[in-house]
Structure 1
Amino acid sequence: MNNKTDLFKANIGKVIVGKDHVVELALCALIANGHVLLEDVPGTGKTVLAKSIAASAGIDFERIQFTPDLLPTDITGLNIVNIKDGEFSFHKGPIFTSILLADEINRATPRTQAGLLECMEERQVTVDGVTRKLPDPFFVIATQNPIETAGTFPLPEAQLDRFMMKLSMGFPSQDEEKKILERAMTGDKLKELNAVVDAGDILEWRQKAFEVKVHEQLLMYITDIVKATRSRFDVAAGVSPRGSIALLRCAQALAFMRGRDYVVPEDIKELAVPVLAHRLSITHTFGKSSSSEDIINKILNEVPVPTEEF
């Protein structure tokens, strides 16, 4: 086990009850230098998870409430003229932070959603021809409600493909909900959360995860899974090479978090649905995520798993 990442998870667990696996996968995406899309009904802890990660790492946090009238410049910032001297100065938008909560991202228009594309992929913002780098680490946690569709705009494929993982918090069990109520009676645990790591630790973990060994047979296993998504009759568009790289990076990060310097087939199988399912464009099912998950699970059952000792 990796002591510091375990400490990170445990600290978040002081606020988030019973969602250890979701927390682990979110941190896996952070270490793999990706972004996370949380799809769930309101009130399940999506915002609290984002704030807990930021507080536990002691890094900057910003929240943007996405609405139909939100403009790209409301995210990136814009140049404003100073009346006294007639000079333009750049006022940074909330995107210039380490952890960004993009709340209800599908309520913004496609034009505004597109304002995030350069930020998420290239970690930079270009306004009026001037490019500015974003902080490092830079981690987007976006949320959307799968039930309410009135007044929403489905995320375009290019936007979905930039999320390394799509996760769901889900409802707590009865025992977990009782613990949530007990904690609520003793005060706001989020306000009491102290930083246990820093930005330097996260960047160090990224480098170490990047160095985790991946056997050639496992690289072939990833390509076999991805290739299978491109040749099915019920899939209009399969997983892109960006998806293949995301699965590789997440597998390395998960192995690192679990104290290994090598990836095993189980890492890839565990991550395939959260990393790949949302990237599929499904035929005749209107892109329902459950169908995408079913297809990935079928592929995992069909593709032979490497059996060599890793």
Structure 2
Amino acid sequence: MLQAVPSSTELDELVDVTEKIRAGVEQVVTGRPDLVRITVAVLLAEGHLLLEDVPGVGKTTLAKALARTIDCTVGRIQFTPDLLPSDLTGVNIFRAQTHEFEFRPGPVFANIVIGDEINRASPKTQSALLECMQEAQATVDGVTYPLPRPFLVIATQNPVEMEGTYPLPEAQRDRFMARLTVGYPDPGSEVEMLDRQEVVDPFAVLEPITSAVEVARLVATARRLYAAPAIKQYVVDLVGASRQDAGLRLGASPRAAIQLLRATKALAAMSGRDHVLPDDVQALLQPVLAHRLLASTESRLSGRSTGDVLEAIVGRTAIPAVEVGSRPRLATG
């Protein structure tokens, strides 16, 4: 299906809005612009985000700050071992006055769903998110309800403390478009953070930048960016190489290739371009692919991570030469 490449006016509007969102989030999350940039790219690509790091580095703060910059509905879930699937999706309640069941929606019926410490919930509860994240719908008692659009799940987990947790299975991790590590701020940024929060809570002055309707329109704009056949082949080559590498027990899925291309389009759009470059693919390869892969026994014994294997794959995969000037006025989706 052919679709028009976004106009310069549409791209200018997208860049303006995303820059304001980034500036708003960076009022709260200090000194980590690349982290915020990729987070906004995941929002534009209509994906889901997994934030993984030790406690206290700002995982939940980042999720809350992004939600605050958009005038939309927000659902907050604190995952615990006793949480039930119905606590997420909702439940039917019998009304004696009307002798009918009334559906009471759960917190997943929101534009942005913040799931804190997702690995503390049981596998049964974690799996309740699978349908929601993949198909933007929830089924309760045999009835399917659509979720609002845009729909973004931002989940956090602590990879250090394993007691009382249930590691996410491969199928669940594959639903997340990207996994990001927040990390510690540099000393200068940490001093700036102390100065900002010494008197005023940054959330108290953080105002919505845009609306859910406008974000949905920007998502559609980003998806129309032009990706040359050589770029698509580059994505397929990288994903295919992960399936054949001896250092990996499990390579990237076709879903990973689709989400990598969508994320690169969003990142390119945020730069004001109407086309994707190989640099965009390389910038997002680690966040989008690393958490989907499983290292082989030999790799683990030698201390090689899935990220190390990905770096080697990038190094030996030919980078395409993209002739931007010859791109068509219409692009395939």
TM-score bin, normalised by smaller chain: over 0.9
1:175 aligns with 2:188: yes
**Displacement of 1:83 after TM fit?**
3.2
| Residue pair 2:77, 2:114 contacting (<8 A) in 1 also | yes
Unaligned 5+ segments in structure 1 are none
1:307–1:85 CA distance, 2 compared to 1 (3 A):
closer
**Displacement of 1:290 after TM fit?**
7.1
1:273 alignment partner in structure 2? 286
Instruction: Tell me how far apart the structure 1 counterparts of residues 90 and 67 of structure 2 sit (CA, whole Å).
Output: 22
SS at match of 1:230: helix
1:49 aligns with 2:62: yes
Q: Which amino acid aligns with 2:269?
A: F
1:1-310, aligned counterparts within 5 Å? Answer: 2-284=15-297, 291-310=305-324
Using the aligned pairs only, state the percent identity: 44
- Larger RCO: 1 or 2 (CA < 8 Å, sep 6+): 2
| Residue pair 2:79, 2:121 contacting (<8 A) in 1 also | yes
SS at match of 1:90: strand
With normalisation by structure 2, the TM-score equals 0.90
Instruction: Tell me how far apart the structure 2 counterparts of residues 207 and 308 of structure 1 sit (CA, whole Å).
Output: 24
Instruction: Tell me how far apart the structure 1 counterparts of residues 90 and 38 of structure 2 sit (CA, whole Å).
Output: 31
Let me know the Cα RMSD of the aligned residues: 1.7
Runs of 4 or more, structure 1, over 6 Å off, are: none
Unaligned 5+ segments in structure 2 are 1-11, 325-333
SS at match of 1:81: strand
**Displacement of 1:190 after TM fit?**
0.8
183-192 or 156-165, which moves further after superposition?
Answer: 183-192
Instruction: Tell me how far apart the structure 2 counterparts of residues 17 and 199 of structure 1 sit (CA, whole Å).
Output: 25
Q: Which amino acid aligns with 1:206?
A: V
Instruction: Tell me how far apart the structure 2 counterparts of residues 10 and 173 of structure 1 sit (CA, whole Å).
Output: 19
| Residue pair 2:268, 2:274 contacting (<8 A) in 1 also | yes
SS at match of 2:69: helix
**Displacement of 1:236 after TM fit?**
1.4
Q: Which amino acid aligns with 1:271?
A: L
**Displacement of 1:49 after TM fit?**
1.1
Instruction: Tell me how far apart the structure 1 counterparts of residues 18 and 108 of structure 2 sit (CA, whole Å).
Output: 26
Instruction: Tell me how far apart the structure 2 counterparts of residues 14 and 279 of structure 1 sit (CA, whole Å).
Output: 31
SS at match of 1:147: coil
1:145–1:94 CA distance, 2 compared to 1 (3 A):
same
Instruction: Tell me how far apart the structure 2 counterparts of residues 111 and 151 of structure 1 sit (CA, whole Å).
Output: 15
Instruction: Tell me how far apart the structure 2 counterparts of residues 30 and 104 of structure 1 sit (CA, whole Å).
Output: 20
Instruction: Tell me how far apart the structure 1 counterparts of residues 245 and 54 of structure 2 sit (CA, whole Å).
Output: 31
